[in-house]
Amino acid sequence: MKQAGFWLNLALGAALCTTTQAATVDGVEVSDRFCLTCHGTDGQGNIGIDAPRIAGMERWYLQRQLEIFRDGLRGTHPEDLVGQEMQPMAAILTDNSIQDVLNWVETWEYKPAEITLTGGDTQRGKTLYQSCASCHGADGEGNEVMKAPALRGQNDFYLVNQLKSFKAGWRGFDPRDQQGTQMRLMAQAIPDDQAITDIVSYINTLGR
């Protein structure tokens, strides 16, 4: 929890330094820096600390992730160090403040994700992706009924990290996290790291 305290101080400290676009967390006004300190300028993600883009991603999906982080179903596996950065940030949110934050995130503009991944075979990725399409959509557009988020438009480095995290059993480890568990089983069927690179390289071709 030492690290959590550090991050919290960083986030709240940064909150004092700016006056734009305030959101309310537990009745305390915090600035955009609270999320953007880590999620990058305008919420487009930050490869330096493995933080995903949240600008332009689906509200229902973001809401669920904030809830499961808050409730300790995600970001609490002892080896999931990156998830542990986010978990204490969500832990201080209430249902109301989650709605406030999501209203505010909806005002952030989506800017196309920069491609950072190299060495992928997009043809092989396309073949491997066919097993993902039933939930994530033929074009990676996401499917709310299946509770499966859009994959196209997300940062490639983050998709790779999450597939590795699911495959290692760090994300989706908690039996109460039904969707995460379902996805963990899917990721465990992906043969190896090269296959992950291939699939995500293919997702990069789907644009947005």
Listed ranges 106-114, 118-126, 177-185: which one lies at the site for ligand HEC (CB under 6 A): 177-185
The site string for ligand HEC over 150-169 (x = CB under 6 A, - otherwise) reads -x--x----x-xxx------
CB atoms within 10 A of CB 128: 18
Radius of gyration for the chain, computed over Cα atoms and rounded to the nearest angstrom: 17
**Angle, CA of 155, 156 and 157, to the nearest 5°:** 95
Buried residues in 60-76 as b, exposed as e (16+ CB within 10 A) = ebbbbbbebbbeebbbb
Site for ligand HEC in 27-66 (CB under 6 A): 34-35, 37-39, 49-52, 54, 62, 64-66
Burial class of 18 by CB neighbour count within 10 A (0 to 12, 13 to 18, 19+): middle
Site for ligand HEC in 61-90 (CB under 6 A): 62, 64-66, 75, 82-83, 85-86, 89
Distance CA 92, CA 120 (A): 39
Does position 15 interact with ligand HEC (CB under 6 A)? The reply is no
Structure tokens at 50: 């493995």
For the CB of residue 118, give the shortest distance to ligand HEC in the complex, in Å: 18
Does position 113 interact with ligand HEC (CB under 6 A)? The reply is no
For the CB of residue 162, give the shortest distance to ligand HEC in the complex, in Å: 4
Q: Which of 155, 199, 201, 204 binds ligand HEC (CB under 6 A)?
A: 199
Does position 122 interact with ligand HEC (CB under 6 A)? The reply is no
